Amino acid sequence: MKKIFLILTSIGIVSFSSCDNDDDSSNAESGNIELSGTTWNDIENLDDMRIFTFTSNTEYIYMERGRSFPGEYEFDGKKEGRLFESENDPGLIFEVENNILSVDQNSGIEGLESKYIKQ
């Protein structure tokens, strides 16, 4: 009887300790947003196939009409960031809220904002 109890207890401990939390709750609980490895499709201009893919914590690729444009970005991990296409580029401001990426296409002129949805 003791052997059965020890075996069942051991199985329970091994099963419980091998569980992994795959829901990324540490980022969700802290409010941090991870862009690296995500892809965002344009909501409004489906014909042009405008896509942002964040390939690392500092680099992205923008695709439009079959052409790709690499660049770098800065992101505060919460909501706001800036996209850069070249070293001297002042950048485009972007915001992330829920599953929507909003990019201000002309940094300040209202109505020139494009919206992308996370895939």
Encode pLDDT of 9-52 as tens digits: 445 444 444 444 444 444 545 679 999 999 999 998 766 689 99
Q: What pLDDT does residue 110 have?
A: 63
pTM, full prediction: 0.69
> Quick one: which of 25, 34, 30 has its CA closest to 58?
34
pLDDT, one tens digit per residue, over 46-73 is 666 899 999 999 999 999 988 999 999 9
Radius of gyration of the chain (CA): 21
What's the token pair of residue 27?
């980022």
Q: What pLDDT does residue 38 have?
A: 97
> Quick one: which of 7, 5, 24, 23 has its CA closest to 15?
7
Q: Identify the burial level of 40 via C-beta atoms within 10 angstroms of its C-beta, where 0-12 means exposed, 13-18 middle and 19 or more buried.
A: buried
CA–CA distance, 14 with 8 (Å, rounded to integer): 10
Q: What pLDDT does residue 107 have?
A: 53
CA–CA distance, 40 with 73 (Å, rounded to integer): 15
Domains defined for the chain, CATH in brackets? 33-118 (2.40.128)
CA–CA distance, 116 with 103 (Å, rounded to integer): 8
Side chain identity at 116, as an amino acid letter? Y
pLDDT, one tens digit per residue, over 68-118 is 999 999 999 999 999 998 888 888 999 999 999 999 876 556 667 889 999
> Do residues 116 and 39 lie in contact, with contact meaning Cβ atoms separated by under 8 Å?
no
